[in-house]
Amino acid sequence: MPGLIPERFIDELLARIDIVDVVQPRVPLKRAGREWTACCPFHDERTPSFYVSPAKQFYHCFGCGAHGSAIKFLMEYEHLEFPDAVEELAQSAGLTVPHEGGAAKPREDRTDLYGLLDAAATFYQRALPASAPAQAYCKKRGLDKDIIERFRIGWAPGGWDAVKRALGTGDAKTRLLEQAGMLSAGDGGKRYDRFRERLMFPIMDRRGRVIAFGGRVITSASNAHSADSARGEGPKYLNSPETPLFHKGRELFALWQVRQANGKLARLIVVEGYMDVVSLHQAGITQAVATLGTSTSNEHAELLFRTAPDVFFCFDGDRAGRSAAWRALESVLPRMRDGRQAFFLFLPEGEDPDTLVRKEGTDGFEARLKNATPLSEYFFAQLSQDINVATLDGRARLAEHAKPLLAKLPDGAFRDLMYAELEKRTGVQGGIANPAPVSRRNPQPAANTPRRTLVRSAIAMLLANPALAQEVTLPYAFAELDKPGVPLLTELLDFLQARPGINTAMLLEHFAGREESAALQKLALTEFPGEPEALRAEFLDAVRKLGEQTTQQRLDALIRKQSGVGLDDPEKQELRELLARKAVPATPSAS
């Protein structure tokens, strides 16, 4: 089993990666002097307080306090675990992630489950050509070989234990199959295959790993003699249950394929069925995804807008479709920051994206998307249904329904305009007609760093330029100084001298998770204007003064002891030497 990722590999990875290149595709950055800035992706704001430093290779938000290296950014932005974020960055840098200490299996390692689900997907893929009904269905829906392979579409054979027999019947394999959601329990506790006689769609995570399945019934006739038919054919779509790898409220079907097909995404199209997604992709509309048999959740909405600025929700025009659309609207309202747009497309009765794109072609479907209803129009049209806005009472009712929903909108121009539209329609002010501007915390050292003691200053300068550690020689003259922060300073010097060439982000990553991390992050924000040589001189002067304080501290201790219990001979000799040293003017030295 893979073990821990070596720290030296993390250093090499962060040395190869430019954090601006990691953040820029996900958050539009603007140059601000030596740094880059944007509205923070981790909290709602209208004035930029999110800064990315190319020199230090880390980010920091002065509004919510979010901070870290490129690894931490991916973890927070993409909701990845540490190993997954490292793996994604390593792939972009052309590196292979090494592991050491196989016995120390990381807590989040699910290699066996991933391997089992991938094997199940392969088994289903190989079963597809042998099923005449499945082949006929794929032909009827116009699926070509390329799209079947791209989505790894397969077939779950009939019977009770086809997957179980194919992947292993031992106790360990059975436990894994249960953990992966591949088995169901019948009367008496007997285990059998969850998916039988269904077209199978593997659900993949952001790294392209199979984490679950969706199975679609193809025709009633195909199930006429199956084990399922005695109890009825079951739901049209059957999904994997919640597992350690799969949480349906957080995943989107085909997001992996979308990212593979598109360099930079300007839009996402949310549809209801797996076949709708597949048909749109085959038609060249490669931005289609689907929720997994559930309503659009808050997590879905966040993921959608983190992937693309424009989101189109495509639903049936019936009552169920409009209900699903309204739930989607409620999920996206808190995430409608400036620059984001949501649209709603309702299809003709009896049509879905699959049938429509085959009937009207790509151009016809694109034309429908172009004429989709913006969120603002849909919002007011839906709330105004069954309300007579020509009357005073009707306008009051519309305002009463709208205001709690509009309050969910994040600060910004879109919120202001929505309240203005409400006032235009009802005459009722939204309560924030002239909102006070949100003040941005100015990234000045005095406002954002703890009180600058000499030790803190030395640490801050090391964080600003880690190469300064090479200027200090052993033994450190201040090592015995009894002051807060000295042990951390000596540890930083030892670490940096052992790893010359590392940058600020690498250093902060080394301390991630430790109690000192928060203080180091704040000190790393300190700016030191002027030339590098001036910073070097200031750092060496701080180290010299710390050495002088150490000497004075020891001298004071010896004098107190001499006045009390007295000194032994070695201590008397030390006192004479310290007094002699104090009498000689100090020379600039780092040691």
- Residue-wise pLDDT tens digits, 377-416: 999 999 999 898 889 999 999 999 999 999 999 888 899 9
Q: CA 395, 397, 399, 402 torsion: positive or negative? A: negative
CB-based contacts of 308: which residues, under 8 Å, 6+ apart?
Answer: 265, 266, 267, 268, 287
186 pLDDT higher than 80: no
Strand order in the sheet with 310-316: 288-290, 267-271, 310-316, 341-347, 373-374
Out of 68-77, 283-292, 507-516, which region has the weakest mean confidence (pLDDT)? Answer: 507-516
- Is residue 589 predicted with pLDDT exceeding 60? no
> How many Cα atoms occupy the beta-carbon half-sphere of 460 within 13 Å?
22
Full-model pTM: 0.70
Q: What is the pLDDT of residue 527?
A: 82
Average of pLDDT values for 219-241? 58
In the predicted structure, residue 194 carries a pLDDT above the cut 90: yes
Let me know the angle formed at the C-alpha of 326 by 323 and 331, rounded to the nearest 5 degrees: 130
The pLDDT confidence band at residue 440, using thresholds 50, 70 and 90, is very low
Task: Answer positive or negative: Cα dihedral of 527, 532, 535, 540.
Answer: positive
How confident is the model over 139-165, as a mean pLDDT? 93
The DSSP symbol for 240 reads -
Mean pLDDT score, 353-368: 95
Instruction: Provide CB contacts within 8 A for 150, sequence distance 6+.
Output: 257, 281
What percent of the chain stands above pLDDT 70? 90
- CA dist., res. 494 & res. 474, Å (int): 9
pLDDT at residue number 475? 85
Angle at 537 between CA 531 and CA 542, to 5 degrees: 130
As a whole number, the mean pLDDT across the chain is: 85
Q: Is the pLDDT of residue 570 over 90?
A: no
Question: How far apart (Å, rounded) are the C-alpha atoms in residues 283 and 278?
Answer: 9
Q: pLDDT class for 582, splitting at 50, 70, 90?
A: low
Look at residue 451 in the predicted model and tell me its pLDDT.
55
Q: Which domains, ranges and CATH numbers included, belong to the chain?
A: 7-93 (3.90.580.10), 111-239 (3.90.980.10), 255-379 (3.40.1360.10), 445-583 (1.10.860.10)
User: Would the pLDDT of 300 be above 70?
Assistant: yes
Between residues 458 and 530, the one the model is more confident about: 458
Q: Yes or no: say if 120 and 163 are a contact pair by the CB < 8 Å rule.
A: yes
Look at residue 584 in the predicted model and tell me its pLDDT: 52
CB atoms near residue 510 (< 10 Å): 19
Confidence of residue 28 (pLDDT cuts 50, 70, 90): confident
Residue 445 has pLDDT above 70, yes or no: no
pLDDT at 439: 40
Q: Inform me whether the pLDDT recorded for 302 exceeds 60.
A: yes
The answer, yes or no, to whether residue 446 has pLDDT greater than 70, is no
User: Once rounded to an integer, what is the mean pLDDT over residues 439-459?
Assistant: 59
